[in-house]
Amino acid sequence: MTNLSLNHHSVDPQISGQLYINGRWSLPVDPATLPVVNPATEEVIAEVARGSSEDVDRAVAAARAAFPGWSATPVDSRALILGKIHELILERQEALAQALSLEMGAAISFARVMQVPLAAEHVRVACDLLSTYRFRRVENGTAVDREPIGVCGLITPWNWPLYQITAKVAPAIAAGCTVVLKPSELSPLSALLFAQLVHDAGLPPGVFNLVNGSGAEVGAAMAAHPDIDMISITGSNRAGALVAQAAAPTVKRVTQELGGKSPNVLLPDADFAKAVPPGVMSAFRNVGQSCSAPTRMIVPRNRLAEVEALAAATANAIIVGDPLLEGTVLGPIANEAQFHRVQTMIEVGLDEGAKLLCGGPGRVQGFEKGFYTRPTIFSNVDSSMRIAQEEIFGPVLCIIAYDTVDEAVAIANDTVYGLGAHVQSQDLELARSVASRIRSGQVLLNYPAWNPMAPFGGYKRSGNGREYGVHGFEEYLEIKAIVGFG
Ligand code: NAD
């Protein structure tokens, strides 16, 4: 097999046009391709296979055939392979970081320090879980077994490409499932490297399969497939709903990680000099393209001027530029469609009468090409405005003022989403009580370190199901009661 080679300009076309099915690279049934565009240069850097429903059939058949063997493989053998996958991600982290930077514009330092290492963590966690997880629990004569659900279809987005892949693939194969992965057609290069690495780690043929292609073709075929037992999708609400509809006739399990519009509540006693700058940086991390980005900063009205000054100073100091330069903090927006969506929403904010503190429409000065977007902050935002309600998925932060803590909580909950949330306070008791009143799957108090064991997922329209740690692992398990077990 040819190794996938990658330099600053291209991916080996021999591999990038192929699918990984049943332990080998192969051409799609119909040899069509999709272009991959580098958002920093707007140039086509690769052509990837455009799979079809026939390719999905081939991949599902391979996964189905591999399921009896893999699900019966002892957990320590599964853990050994996961450990090897973890090792190979760390060994190949530079190539993975370069791929991420090319395919979606991640600043190289961010890809090296965040995107790749955090992706590796999901694999480590799944591997470690296997040594402690009790697949059988016997109580009162009944054994309750946790068994792998079967063949899983995994559909991932372009914003954290490798991280979303490992957050699904690692717990699924740890649980004993076999998988068909469809990464975003907009960022498929890191997924090709991942497939090669899984192969090199010695995962048996058919346990992991990769089918590149569009959502409308490959994703929809997976969702409807009668031989897939579960679909896990991370993406837009539009795609999440379409997947659930297509999956309904076959009654497969569907887990969805979808959009967000997460609040960051600064309580009156917070240390604002410490609370505002990280709030801005969290909102803009990954160029604001994170589903749980805290894009609504909810602040006491009598401290608004102070918050505005701190927020603008933080945003104005951010270096936006060529993602391959070490000092760059934010690269471009990941793709053209998203760039235009973000530009439109910045215009909407101006039309709605929000106060522009910094940034604004148009490219970052000095760039005529590339989807470079100015970090933008609006103040005097009313919670009913579109910029406060709709997910923008770009570097756009809304500052919303409140008069009482009750009103702050009401604003935090004034959204169809419920994915992430932040609360800042020097009084931990107060922060905890506000956290318990926010309707979202995760609440972070005073910017804690990332915890790969903390369950992640949405209330309301942010989705169904949880990822990460033991809760994420259990999504891939069925429960069987053996009554009269003794
Ligand atoms: P998208 O919905 O366009 O695509 C996500 C994935 O779904 C892609 O692989 C795509 O090909 C596939 N897809 C699209 N239409 C499909 C269909 N009809 N059937 C099956 N699959 C289909 O989303 P995107 O633009 O890639 O990602 C951005 C969105 O994802 C944002 O809304 C963001 O909030 C959300 N997101 C959520 C999380 C989370 O964990 N909750 C994480 C990242 C991104």
pLDDT in tens, 173-203: 999 999 999 999 999 999 999 999 999 999 9
Partners of 95 in beta bridges: none
Domains of the chain: 7-258+463-483 (3.40.605.10), 263-450 (3.40.309.10)
Taking CA atoms only, the protein residue closest to ligand 1 atom 11 is 215
Ligand 1 centroid – CA 259 distance (Å): 9
Over residues 463-478, mean pLDDT: 98
Ligand 1 centroid – CA 237 distance (Å): 7
Catalytic residue selected from 127, 152, 177, 291: 291
Q: What's the pLDDT score for residue 4?
A: 44
> Is 257 one of the annotated active-site residues of the chain?
yes
Question: What's the rounded Cα separation, in Å, for the pair 9 and 109?
Answer: 18
Ligand 1 atom closest to Cα of 467?
40
Q: In what order do the strands lie in the sheet with 463-464?
A: 24-26, 19-21, 208-210, 178-182, 151-155, 230-234, 253-257, 463-464
Ligand 1 mutation pick, 154, 164, 184, max ligand atoms within 8 A of CB: 184
Q: What's the pLDDT score for residue 16?
A: 83
Question: What's the rounded Cα separation, in Å, for the pair 162 and 119?
Answer: 6
pLDDT tens, 142-168?
999 999 999 999 999 999 999 999 999
Question: What's the rounded Cα separation, in Å, for the pair 68 and 147?
Answer: 12
Whether 14 shows a pLDDT value over 70: the answer reads no
Ligand 1 centroid – CA 187 distance (Å): 12
Question: What's the rounded Cα separation, in Å, for the pair 47 and 239?
Answer: 23
User: Could you tell me the pLDDT band of residue 237, with boundaries at 50, 70 and 90?
Assistant: very high
> Is 87 one of the annotated active-site residues of the chain?
no
End-to-end Cα spacing for the chain: 52
Q: Is the CB of 48 under 6 A from ligand 1?
A: no
Verdict on whether the full-model pTM lies above 0.75 = yes
